[in-house]
Amino acid sequence: MGRRAIVVLGCKAPNDQPTPMMRRRVELAAKVYADLARDGGEAPFLIPTGYAGHGQTHSEAALMRRIAVEAKVPSDDIQIEERASCTVENAYFSKLLIDEANVDEIHVVTSDFHVRRAEIIFETFFHSPAYALVFHGAPETLTVERKASEDRETSLVHRSLDYFVDLHGSDADPRLFRSALIPDDLFTHAFTCRIGGVSRYETLSSLNLHFNANRKDPRLFVRRNQARLAKCLRFDAEKFEKAACVHGNAIWVVGGDDPRPTDGYDGLVTDRKGVVLAAPGADCMPVLLCDPVKKVCGACHSGWRGTLAKVVLCALQTMKERFGCCLADVRVAVGPSIGTCCFEVGEDVASRFDSRFVVRRSDWKKPHVDLWGYLYTDLASFGILPENMDVPKPWKEGRKSIDRETAVTQCTVCDPEDRFFSYRKHGMQYGTQCGVIGML
């Protein structure tokens, strides 16, 4: 059983005095606390949330804390949140405390008439199955005017969510890496990193570009991150097509007659203007392709399985067959991904690779695989010219560190500035950067 939190939503307290409504909410929260404490496991903790309004000496949260202590909630199990001035802020700021404490079950206490609006907001910030949400409503008599006001605010809540998340996101613009091989007068392109987004969970912050229901970054945050990237690169966020990351070699021709592969796809190609293709990665290679002669581009997600399955070569073959691309004209760039320095594998994985790309050193406990060198060799054998590859060459014997041969291929694991998301480094709550490309 994981740790549980009880969030008590604040309400106005004129003259620094608790109102009957506030007391009913906190008393209900104290009952929920007692019920959860009896269930065993780690003790729950209470988060009264609410700011101090104009002319008030005490915040709503501080007043509720006093009531909770009177109701026998241990003071050590109460953590107040004093910044929130509305329900959206109640959810946002309490999420920061909840995620820091590694909580996955949240009980929200408010007034019964307010539960519907609270559900909309909290379910946006705390999605299933990453979190479990339970709502509790204290009884409250509602005037006609107050009900009309609540109905109006509920109908407008979605409009305020985007604004608020953007307001509290990073002040920095997305930090982008671009390959000199991809002509910027024909293609918009970039490799992203962690910098410049709105996500707040530590290992998912801040420019996470992929939503996964098991990770603690809300879909809203990912959507706003994509909107920031679209604004920076000047493309339509509604035409953002991302590889499905199934670790295979299926290719989708975006805008063509071929239907989207139902079993997923790791590569996309297009000759359509306005469409932006994305290859996600969090150690796996994001690979961008372009033919400036035929004006065709592509993006591939290539982990070790996809690399062995030749997903990038499949995309190149699709460009050749469907659009008449000449391989001598095609340019390829690999973005931030796991380097040979950090890609430690077991013997079962090492045995699947040609021994030329399995690196063993006396100071390494296990073999390492050179994915970059494997891809470089594959591309050269397939017909891509060396001068058209922004890809590190195969690992050399005696090398002590990565040769920084390209501006865009950096190791996601050992980057000294911690600029990149990495599954190896961050564990299951990892974020995702992307390589993106589109026709101008």
Each domain of the chain, given as residue ranges in start order, spans 3-167, 176-439
Taking CA atoms, 313 is separated from 182, 391, 397, in Å, by 18, 14, 27
Q: Is the pTM of this model over 0.85?
A: yes
Query: Please, how many CA atoms are within 13 Å of residue 71, restricted to the half-sphere of its CB?
Result: 21
Q: How confident is the model at residue 397 (pLDDT cuts 50, 70, 90)?
A: low
Fold type of domain 3-167: Rossmann fold (3.40.50)
Helix axes of 144-155 and 157-167: crossing angle, nearest 10 degrees: 60
Of 210, 193, 284, 209, the closest CA to residue 247 belongs to 284
Of 232, 229, 256, 252, the closest CA to residue 240 belongs to 229
Distance separating alpha carbons of residues 306 and 326, to the nearest angstrom: 23
Whether pLDDT at 402 is above 50: no
**What are the two backbone dihedrals, phi and then psi, of residue 243, each rounded to the nearest 5 degrees?**
-60, 145
Whether pLDDT at 401 is above 50: no
Beta bridge partners of 251: 267
Which tens digits make up the pLDDT trace of 26-82? Answer: 999 999 999 999 988 888 999 999 999 888 899 999 999 999 999 999 999 999 999
Whether pLDDT at 23 is above 90: yes
Q: How confident is the model at residue 347 (pLDDT cuts 50, 70, 90)?
A: very high
Of 257, 260, 258, 333, the closest CA to residue 298 belongs to 333
Q: What is the mean pLDDT of residues 83-109?
A: 96
Report the pLDDT value the prediction gives residue 400, as an integer from 0 to 100: 45
Compute the Cα dihedral for 215, 218, 221, 226 and give only its sign: positive
Report the pLDDT value the prediction gives residue 8, as an integer from 0 to 100: 98
Inter-residue contact 328 to 385 (CB < 8 Å): yes
Q: Which two tokens stand for residue 314?
A: 């499949």
Q: How confident is the model at residue 89 (pLDDT cuts 50, 70, 90)?
A: very high
Whole-number average pLDDT of the chain: 94
Report the pLDDT value the prediction gives residue 150, as an integer from 0 to 100: 78
- Exposed (0-12), middle (13-18) or buried (19+): which is 310, by Cβ within 10 Å? middle
One-letter-per-residue 3-state SS of the chain: CCEEEEEEECCCCHHHCCCHHHHHHHHHHHHHHHHHHHCCCCCCEEEEECCCCCCCCCCHHHHHHHHHHHCCCCHHHECCECCCCCHHHHHHHHHHHHHHCCEEEEEEEEEHHHHHHHHHHHHHHCCCCCCEEEEEEECCCCCHHHHHHHHHHHHCHHHHHHHHHHHCCCCCCCCEECCCCCCCCCEEEEEECCCCCCCCCHHHCCCCCCCCCCCCCCHHHHHHHHHHHHHHHCCCHHHEEECCCCCCCCEEECCCCCCCCCCCCCEEEECCECCEEEEEECCCEEEEEEECCCCEEEEEEECHHHHHCCHHHHHHHHHHHHHCCCHHHCEEEECCECCCCCCECCHHHHCCCCHHHEECCCCCCCCEECHHHHHHHHHHHHCCCHHHEECCCCCCCCCCCCCCCCCCCCECCCCCCCCCCCHHHHCCCCCCEEEEEEEC
Report the pLDDT value the prediction gives residue 153, as an integer from 0 to 100: 79
Which tens digits make up the pLDDT trace of 167-192? Answer: 999 999 999 999 999 999 999 999 99
Of 405, 374, 378, 371, the closest CA to residue 390 belongs to 405
Whether pLDDT at 368 is above 70: yes
Taking CA atoms, 424 is separated from 33, 115, 336, 419, in Å, by 37, 40, 14, 14
Beta bridge partners of 286: 301
Q: How confident is the model at residue 1 (pLDDT cuts 50, 70, 90)?
A: low
Report the pLDDT value the prediction gives residue 159, as an integer from 0 to 100: 81
Distance separating alpha carbons of residues 201 and 431, to the nearest angstrom: 10
Which tens digits make up the pLDDT trace of 101-143? Answer: 999 999 999 999 999 999 999 999 999 999 999 999 999 887 7
Q: Does domain 176-439 have CATH number 1.10.10.10?
A: no
Q: What is the mean pLDDT of residues 190-201?
A: 97
Distance separating alpha carbons of residues 155 and 370, to the nearest angstrom: 54
